[in-house]
Amino acid sequence: MKWRNKVVLITGASSGIGEATAYELAERGALPVLVARRADELKRVAAEIATRFPGVQTVCIAADITRDADRRRIQEQLEKEFGRLDVLINNAGITAHGRFDESDPTVLRQALELNFFAAAELTGLLLPLLQYSRDERRAIALVSTPSGLYGVPGRFAYSASKAAGHAWMETLRCELHDDGIDAVIFCPGYTRTGLRTSGLAADGRRLSEEQSKHARDPEWMAGRLRRALEKGGRRVVLTGFQGSLVYWLRTLAPGLLEWLMRKKLKGDMKKTL
Ligand SMILES: NC(=O)c1ccc[n+]([C@@H]2O[C@H](COP(=O)([O-])OP(=O)(O)OC[C@H]3O[C@@H](n4cnc5c(N)ncnc54)[C@H](OP(=O)(O)O)[C@@H]3O)[C@@H](O)[C@H]2O)c1
Ligand 1 centroid from CA 171, angstroms:
24
- What average pLDDT does the structure give for the chain? 95
pLDDT tens per residue across span 90-129: 999 999 999 999 999 999 999 999 999 999 999 999 999 9
Q: In what order do the strands lie in the sheet with 31-36?
A: 59-62, 31-36, 7-11, 87-90, 138-143, 181-187, 236-238
Best of 150, 191, 219 to mutate for ligand 1, by most ligand atoms within 8 A of CB?
A: 191
Separation in Å, CA 40 to CA 14, 46, 70, 119, 267? 9, 10, 17, 23, 39
| Measured distance CA(17)–CA(22) in Å, rounded | 9
pLDDT of residue 269: 59
Tell which atom from ligand 1 comes closest to the C-alpha of 95. 47
Residue 149 has pLDDT above 60, yes or no: yes
Runs of H (alpha helix) within 53-149: 68-81, 105-112, 119-132
195 lines ligand 1 (CB under 6 A): yes
92 lines ligand 1 (CB under 6 A): yes
Residue 271 has pLDDT above 50, yes or no: no
The hierarchical CATH code for the domain 7-239 is 3.40.50.720
Tell me the pLDDT band of 270, cut-offs 50, 70 and 90. Answer: low
Ligand 1 centroid from CA 256, angstroms:
31
Tell me the pLDDT band of 55, cut-offs 50, 70 and 90. Answer: very high
Domain boundaries, the chain: 7-239
Residue 272 has pLDDT above 70, yes or no: no
93 lines ligand 1 (CB under 6 A): yes
List all residues 6 or more positions away from 46 whose beta carbon is below 8 Å from its beta carbon.
34, 58, 60
Residue 171 has pLDDT above 50, yes or no: yes
Ligand 1 centroid from CA 12, angstroms:
5
Residue 273 has pLDDT above 70, yes or no: no
Percent of the chain topping pLDDT 70: 98
Residue 265 has pLDDT above 90, yes or no: no
The one catalytic residue among 23, 158, 190, 247:
158
Asked whether 253 and 45 are in contact (CB, 8 A), the reply is: no
| Measured distance CA(111)–CA(228) in Å, rounded | 25
Is the pTM here over 0.85, yes or no?
yes
Separation in Å, CA 15 to CA 58, 215, 232? 16, 16, 25
Let me know if 150 is a catalytic residue.
no
Tell me the pLDDT band of 172, cut-offs 50, 70 and 90. Answer: very high
Tell which atom from ligand 1 comes closest to the C-alpha of 11. 34
pLDDT of residue 235: 80
147 lines ligand 1 (CB under 6 A): no
140: β partners:
88, 183
